[in-house]
């Protein structure tokens, strides 16, 4: 399967900047050999979908509610994202797990909602620095995979060690490979043969200068990019580093 380079804009982007960034990404997107996805904040989704109409770049949300509609003030449903033209949604990002106390059970429910609406869920997992230092990272991530994914899961996993997000620090390629192999085993144990074909992205301080190495690691199926996705040149350079 082609690798996926997904940009997570987080809470960044007013109208003018989002429009310029989208235009620059669209202009360079034809030259890459991977799948491309951008995940703007909710307020920019419609603008970005419109600007990318006819391009190869897909659009996703950064979160959604589990339900299709109802009395949930301030929330956005997966059906609303699909209605706007999104084809994917990031779920269980560590910033949501930490800042909004999202449990594995909550993520599990959101994944079901995303699949119901026809969105591709990108489910984030990853350990804290203290958990890695204590040697618990394999158990922590394995537990997140097991509890966050419903039966019949069809989507993408993103392994994002929390200590690597926005810090400029990354695990060694060997550590990434070990964790991705572990996640692959957990997916196959949980989902059977279907778990063997799902993409497992790496995320956390992916930049143009480390992308080629990280993307060539066995079992890495692409990258979830935060900071560098706010710069079209950097985002496209990361996409250009895909060689498999
Ligand atoms: P970063 O963020 O690339 O800025 O480290 C990654 C993410 O949080 O998805």
> Which segments of 53-103 does DSSP mark as H helices, in order?
78-84, 94-99
Q: What is the pLDDT of residue 243?
A: 83
Does ligand 1 lie within 6 Å of residue 166's CB atom? yes
**Furthest C-alpha separation in the chain:** 48
Does ligand 1 lie within 6 Å of residue 225's CB atom? yes
Q: Is 65 a catalytic residue?
A: no
Between CA 58 and CA 44 the distance in angstroms is 14
Q: Is 173 a catalytic residue?
A: no
> In 3D, which of 106, 110, 134, 130 has the Cα closest to residue 120?
110
Q: What is the pLDDT of residue 31?
A: 85
Q: Give the pLDDT of the chain (244 residues) as one tens digit per residue.
A: 899 999 999 999 999 999 999 999 999 998 899 999 999 999 999 999 999 999 999 999 999 999 999 999 999 999 999 999 999 999 999 999 999 999 999 999 999 999 999 999 999 999 999 999 999 999 999 999 999 999 999 999 999 999 999 999 999 999 999 999 999 999 999 999 999 999 999 999 999 999 999 999 999 999 999 999 999 999 999 999 998 7
> Which segments of the chain does DSSP mark as H helices, in order?
15-28, 42-51, 78-84, 94-99, 104-116, 129-133, 137-148, 173-191, 208-215, 232-240
Does ligand 1 lie within 6 Å of residue 205's CB atom? yes
Count Cβ neighbours within 10 Å for each residue of 102-124 and write b for 16 or more, e otherwise: bebebbbbbbbbbbebebbbbbb
> In 3D, which of 218, 226, 183, 205 has the Cα closest to residue 7?
226
Residue owning the nearest CA to atom 1 of ligand 1: 226
Using a cut of 0.85, tell me whether the model's pTM lies above it.
Answer: yes
């Amino acid at each position: 399967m082609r690798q996926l380079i997904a940009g997570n804009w987080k809470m960044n982007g007013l109208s003018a900047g989002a429009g310029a960034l989208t235009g620059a990404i669209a202009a360079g997107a034809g030259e890459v050999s991977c799948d491309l996805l951008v995940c703007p904040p909710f307020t920019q989704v419609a603008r970005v979908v419109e600007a990318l109409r006819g391009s190869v770049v897909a659009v996703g949300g950064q979160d959604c509610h589990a339900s299709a509609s109802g009395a949930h003030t301030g929330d956005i449903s997966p059906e609303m994202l699909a209605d706007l033209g999104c084809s994917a949604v990031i779920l269980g990002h560590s910033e949501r797990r930490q800042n909004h106390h999202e449990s594995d059970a909550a993520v599990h429910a959101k994944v079901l909602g995303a699949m119901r609406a026809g969105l591709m869920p990108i489910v984030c997992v990853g350990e804290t620095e203290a958990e890695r230092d204590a040697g618990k990272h394999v158990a922590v991530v394995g537990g997140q995979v097991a509890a966050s994914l419903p039966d019949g899961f069809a989507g993408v996993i993103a392994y994002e060690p929390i200590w690597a997000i926005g810090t400029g620090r990354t695990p060694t390629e060997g550590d990434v490979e070990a964790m991705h192999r572990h996640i692959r085993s957990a997916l196959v144990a949980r989902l059977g043969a279907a778990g063997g074909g799902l993409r497992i992205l790496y995320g956390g301080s992916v930049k143009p200068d480390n992308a080629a190495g990280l993307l060539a690691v066995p079992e890495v199926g692409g990258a979830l990019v935060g900071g560098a996705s706010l710069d079209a040149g950097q985002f496209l350079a990361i996409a250009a580093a895909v060689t498999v």
